[in-house]
Amino acid sequence: MPDDDSPWPRVVAHADMDAFYAAVEQMDNPELKGKPILVGPPSGRGVVLTASYEARPFRVGSAMPMARARKMCPQAIVVPPRFDRYTAVSKQIMGVFATFSPKIEAISLDEAFIDLTGSERLLGDPEKIGRALKEAVREATGGLTVSVGLSGTKFVAKVASDFRKPDALTVVPPDEAQTWLAPMPVSRLWGAGPKTVEKLHALGLRTIGDVAARERDWLEHRLGRMGQRFHDLAHARDPRGVDGRRASKSIGSERTLSQDISDRERIKFYLRRSAEQVGQRLRRKGRVAFGVQVKLKTHDFRTLTRQHRRDRPTDVAEDLYRDGCALLEKFAEAGPFRLVGLSAYDIAHAGEEPQGDLFSGNASDRAEAGTARRHDLEAAIDTLKERFGADVLKRADDLSRTRSTPNLDFLADGEDKDEG
Ligand code: TTP
Ligand code: MG
């Protein structure tokens, strides 16, 4: 282990394959090499899963409707996806990472954090380790390139891996990280979605350096807990460890359906059910969640997710459900889907959150008051359920609804999953 005053108290790598699906297709079929390709359904309906780097100057890429991408880049060759192949290559890549460190956190098929702290004596300095990692991936896969970022925190490593894609290696020594981050746009901050970015801009904060220059209290006053977090990240402080059990930090409920569905109202029905179960588990554990994720699995077994980070945490099913419905709008695919799930992540202990003044009358405080009322109501239902069982609960829950919504079956059935 390096000593405490080493410039690298921790060594964290983030590795992200370049144009992953497209690169696999180009590797397997030499005729596609060096050409613009779009991986996605050739039918013209549906969305582009990824574009090769040769196609990217035409401003086409992931999640764009295929028909539009073909118009913008007519010379592109459309290649149907082969998910089994990508999964197999992903296993190869993760296997390579495992030869560098046992501490790996896979984020998706093509992306992982690797904790390399203590590996320097064996593998050399971080730059050398990065080069070795890239070479090992190239060799094991038969030619694929990966972009690697190395620094002392997960946050900086992730920003670094994306910095000069493709085929890049970016090493940011921890003591230079804050300066290195400063010119980056605030959208790079972990947890800053489009709405939050707007809010930050309205506060006159456009770069990470702008955020770092503000007092922690100033940020906390305006952005709550999120402000504290941004302050930390902007100073390149990120205590998160590389954790192979990352999934255990979420609480989810999902269900594989007996028949594939496309109808949005039916999907919402299952989202509500999952939201009820997740809310109940959060309350039982005394936790609240900042993050809400919706997961859909397509009939051809592709898992799609969309997530949202709330400004205020919640343990209320109604909030989770509302976020879930908003997230549903963000899926480009129409279905049919074979699985519907909702989970809460970024979980905190209830009571740690600063409470707003319920009587000050601004919109977010009113929203919080609504959440508090709803919390009490749902907690009362929890108690009823514990005392009298699911039947009473069903009726109590019906009474609690002001508008007509599908009734819930509280008896857990199907593929309910509690990762918490
Ligand atoms: P990414 O790592 O986001 O993209 P990429 O590897 O294609 O390109 P980059 O060089 O910018 O990293 O995603 C990895 C794979 O996941 C991608 O090849 C296809 C798939 N994917 C989807 O299916 N849908 C999506 O919306 C995105 C973003 C990715
Ligand atoms: Mg990638």
| pLDDT for res 63 | 86
Cβ of 331 closer than 6 Å to ligand 1, yes or no, is no
111 is catalytic: yes
Give the integer Cα–Cα distance in Å for 187 and 181.
12
In which band, very low, low, confident or very high, does the pLDDT at 51 lie, cut at 50, 70 and 90? very high
Identify the residue with better confidence: 87 or 327: 327
Please give the mean pLDDT across all residues of the chain: 85
Task: Give, for 394, the enclosing helix (H) or strand (E).
Answer: helix 390-400
Task: Tell me the pLDDT tens digit for each residue of 150-197.
Answer: 999 999 999 999 999 999 999 999 999 999 999 999 999 998 988 899
Task: Tell me the pLDDT tens digit for each residue of 90-139.
Answer: 999 999 999 999 899 888 889 999 999 988 888 899 999 999 999 999 99
Ligand 1 closest atom vs CA 110: 14
The SS3 assignment for 291 reads strand
Q: Ligand 1 centroid vs 50 CA: distance in angstroms?
A: 6
Cβ of 20 closer than 6 Å to ligand 1, yes or no, is yes
Q: Pick the residue whose CA is nearest to atom 8 on ligand 1.
A: 19
Which of 105, 111, 276, 368 is the catalytic position?
111
| pLDDT for res 114 | 96
Cβ of 60 closer than 6 Å to ligand 1, yes or no, is no
Ligand 1 closest atom vs CA 17: 6
Residue 398 has pLDDT above 50, yes or no: no
Please give the DSSP secondary-structure letter assigned to residue 47: B
- Return the biggest CA–CA distance within the chain: 67
Phi (first) and psi of residue 314, to 5 degrees? -145, 160
Residue 267 has pLDDT above 80, yes or no: yes
Task: Tell me the pLDDT tens digit for each residue of 199-252.
Answer: 999 999 999 999 999 999 999 999 988 899 999 999 999 988 887 544 347 899
Give the integer Cα–Cα distance in Å for 318 and 366.
15
Cβ of 16 closer than 6 Å to ligand 1, yes or no, is yes
Identify the residue with better confidence: 4 or 266: 266
Task: Tell me the pLDDT tens digit for each residue of 299-311.
Answer: 988 999 999 888 8
Task: Tell me the pLDDT tens digit for each residue of 185-194.
Answer: 999 999 898 8
Residue 384 has pLDDT above 80, yes or no: no
Question: Are the C-beta atoms of 238 and 232 separated by less than 8 Å?
Answer: yes
| pLDDT for res 412 | 29
Q: What percentage of the chain reaches a pLDDT higher than 70?
A: 85
Residue 327 has pLDDT above 80, yes or no: yes
Q: In Å, how far are 148, 150, 223, 235, 392 from 120, measured between CA atoms? A: 17, 13, 39, 25, 61
| pLDDT for res 393 | 52
Q: Ligand 2 centroid vs 147 CA: distance in angstroms?
A: 8
Residues 6+ apart with CB under 8 A from 153: 10, 12, 174, 177, 236, 237, 238, 240
Q: Ligand 1 centroid vs 62 CA: distance in angstroms?
A: 6
The predicted model gives 347-358 an average pLDDT of 51
Mutation pick for ligand 1 pocket among 110, 113, 296, 333 (CB with most ligand atoms within 8 Å):
110
Residues 6+ apart with CB under 8 A from 333: 46, 47, 296, 298, 304
Q: What is the pTM of this model?
A: 0.65
Q: Pick the residue whose CA is nearest to atom 28 on ligand 1.
A: 62
| pLDDT for res 351 | 56
| pLDDT for res 392 | 55
In which band, very low, low, confident or very high, does the pLDDT at 20 lie, cut at 50, 70 and 90? very high
